[in-house]
Structure 1
Amino acid sequence: MTNAPPSRTGDADEGDDPLRPGALREHDAAPPSPSLALAGDDLPLLTDALEAAELDRLGIPRRDATPAPAAATANAPPVLAAPAEFPPAELADELARSIEAWLERELPQIVVAELDALAAPLAARIRAETHARMRATLLPALSAPLSAPLARRAGDDTG
C-alpha cells in the first residue's frame, strides 16, 4: 500500500487540471472589457487633477468646487441649539459634573471587583504555601517538646 496520490490520467482531460503549468495564465487571458479601457496606457492617479474634458470622456460626473448657495440650504432642517437653560459653558460644566459624579460612584466598585478577582487566587496560593511550610518547619519544631513529656510518661507507666 502506498501513500502516493491516485493518478489522474484516466479521470479527466489534461486541460482540466488546474495545477498544470500555464492554467492560471490561460484562465486570466480574457480580453479586457471595453468599458474599462482608457486611451493609451496612462491611468490617472488619485493625485492627478483631471480636466473637465477627461471627466466627460470617462463618464465621471463633475462636482462643483464652489459651496452650495444659501437658497439650497434654506430648505434644510434647522440646527438645534442647546437648551436655553444651559448656555454652552454651563452645559459643559454640567456634563463634567455628571461624569465626575458617575466616576466617583462607579469607579470604586469596578476597582474593588477587579482587586477581589485578583486577590482570590493570590489568597489561595498564600494559604497553600503557609500550610506547606507549617508542615515542613513548625510541626517538627512543636513535635519535639510535646513528645518528650509523653515519652517520659510512657516510661513511667511501664516501669
Structure 2
Amino acid sequence: MTQAPKAELEIPLEDEDADPLFEKADALIQRHASFAIEPELDDLPVLTDVVETPPPALDAAPTTEPAEPTEPDAPLPDLAAATAAATRAEADRLAERLVLLDSAISRHIQEWVATELPQLVSLELDDLAERLQATAASHLRATLLPLISTEIADTLDKGPEA
C-alpha cells in the first residue's frame, strides 16, 4: 500500500528544472555527508560511556596538596559535555533530515521513472517507426521499383511465348 507523500516533502519538477535541483540536492548531501557517516572510533569517550580513572602509578608519590579552588566564573566540565551533546544532537537531527530528503528525492525519481519514462520511450519508438517506414519506402522506390519495372518491360517486349 503506497502512502501519499507529505505536502512539505513534495517538490514539483519540471523538465528544465530537474537537473539543477538534483545537482543542488547532491551538493547539499555531499557537503553534509560527514554528519550522516559515523565517525571513526577514537579514544575519546562518548557522553554515555562510563569513564574509569586509571589507578595511580606505583612509583608516583601521593600528592597532599589541596585542590585549587575553582573560580565562580570558570566553565564547569558539565557545560562542555552538555555543549558536545547538543552539538551531536543537532548533527543527528540534520542527518535525519538529510536522510528524509534523500528518501523523498529517491521516491520522486522512482515515480518519474514509473510514469514519465514509458511515455518518453513510447514517443521515441513511434518516431523511430515513422522514420523507418519513410526510409524503407524511399529505399524501395529507389531500388526495388526499377527492378520490377525492368522485369515487366522485358516480359512485355518478349511477347507471348507459345
Pairwise same-fold verdict (TM > 0.5): no
Superposition TM-score, scaled by structure 1 size: 0.35
Which structure has the larger Rg over C-alpha atoms? 1
**TM norm structure 2:** 0.35
Which has a greater percent of helix?
2
